[in-house]
Structure 1
Amino acid sequence: MPLSESTVLISEVGPRDGLQSVKSVMPTAAKCAWIDALHAAGLREIEIGSFVPARRLPQMADVADVVRHALALPGWTVMALVPNLQGAEAALATGVHKLTLPVSASEAHSLANVRKTRADMLAELRRIVALRDAQAPAVRIEVGLSTAFGCTLQGPVPEDEVLRLAEAAAAAGVDEVGLSDTTGMAQPAQVRRLFTRLRAALGERAGAAHLHNTRGLGLANCLAAYEAGVRTFDSSQAGLGGCPYAPGASGNVVTEDLVFMFEAMGIATGVDLEALLAARAPLRAGLPGEPLYGMLPEAGLPLGFTYADGRLPRTPSIPRQAAA
């Protein structure tokens, strides 16, 4: 889907970022049913899982099987997180379309998350790019700069350090460098300023906004990133997710709420909200008892809502507060 002033790409990260952050292990068949529903809703990029040792994240033990299932669905980008060269080798062997690597802007978070310094991660990144170039040159590589807006372990992260790290990642040969509010510390003015600087430094290689709703600013921060020129946004259905190595970092932006915000503004996402809301059913079935978040699922589509392309909802809904 070409991205323009009136189009954005929603990259669904629930099957990785969401599931790795809950204690329950979702059965493989349930994951596949949920992924089928996300695809049917019109999402066109999805982070399936992470290639990490099962002893560290048992929720990801079946990632290769889930990737193979997702690859059978047409017309979308199947992405996987890899923290190191070994993970990249395993991911490329499954045929994924895109790799994403976490490189932390905070030294303390880098050591906690991947047990490497930032310099070590840049060296690992160069090895992964070389592997990609040799084995699968069509596969894209994205770096998400974790803790770019602050770190619960270190505190503030200087913006100049974030930009230097972004430029070093781009110089290593990656296709995209995005910024991640891993700990939910960002605010809109900071988001607008840092993404503006990132785009000035990297141009078309400035990548996605991965923003959390930990302190209730997720959508406001997404809007600030959009105003700075960002056109790709990570989010998680029902707000699942966070970071197990950043204390208190709960709450990805809710996909349903983010899609609604953009569509209501006349900015097309390509996502069918009614089908997206229906995708909560297989998620709930696969994670019984797990809290699911979101304002739109509670309130419903407002009367008179139209999609950015002029379509009307198939089933007109009455907001709950109006029906009460």
Structure 2
Amino acid sequence: MSQATQATAIPAAKVSSSDIPWNKHVRQKQTVSDWVINIVIATLMVAVILAILYPLWFIIIASISDPKLVATGRVTMFPRGVQMGGYQRIFEDARIWTGYRNTLIYSFVGTALNMAVTLPMAFGLSRREFKPRRVILFLLTFTMFFSGGLIPSYLLFKEVGLLDTMWVFILPSALSVWNLIIARSFFETSIPEDLHDAAQIDGLGYFGYFWRIVLPLSSAIIAVIALYYFVGHWNDYFTGLIYIRTTNKQPLQVVLQSILLSNQSAQNTATFGDTAQQARQVADQIKYGVIIVSTLPLLILYPFLQKYFNKGVMIGAIKG
């Protein structure tokens, strides 16, 4: 019998797909210790989620509940004695709509200018053939740790005519060095250099390569940086407090602060007894309502950018 005949005569061992350790349908048997660890991890995750979400949920239900029930601790999980008096007092103030309008203008115009400055500059600093890039990046990074201070900034803005104008919210913060570094790192590590070589063969210059190839491939980092800039403009309280004197140019955050202060003053000037207690309860309800009014637009905007935000953060975490 030949060797080939002997080889075919020997019965081959039947190997099931379940015996392959890397089969995706095979589930490893979990021991008791594995179950304990999984339960502990799940419990910790649920506890962290509740610790994050419950304060926000309490503010929402407290803003629409009876202030007396909130003050006595009878509002815990669900609203009780629903009333919208706090929101009514907030929106009766005409300044709230002016503040919303101003903040939306400052946020959208400021974010557009931020992106127009940050992305091209980050792309230029990411090109290795650009020799002065390390010196320029060092000078930019230096400004993250050292600044002129409040008084020199105030005098400078006064000299250039930025005081009490909308441009004081936009031009001084046209570039964030931190966001510039993030975008530069993304362009260096996530955009293959072969694309630039192919673009040069096709006759594209740097501007065409940046506009037609780099930007369409950078949607994740663009969304992340735009969100950072927009949130920064939306929460900008200090600029309006220091550099703006005209009431109809104040941002939403300053307007909300003035509403809170006026209600606290009314609470302090109220007479003793039930009137003072009622004024304090209404002031607390207005305080909860102010928190919701100031954060609601961001809560609405974030879900639409969440997938890009997560992707951009993961890209930066993996590739450095």
User: TM-score scaled to structure 1, two decimals?
Assistant: 0.22
Which is richer in helix?
Answer: 2
Flag the structure with larger Rg: 2
Which is richer in strand?
Answer: 1
Q: Which has the higher contact order (CA 8 A, sep 6+)?
A: 2
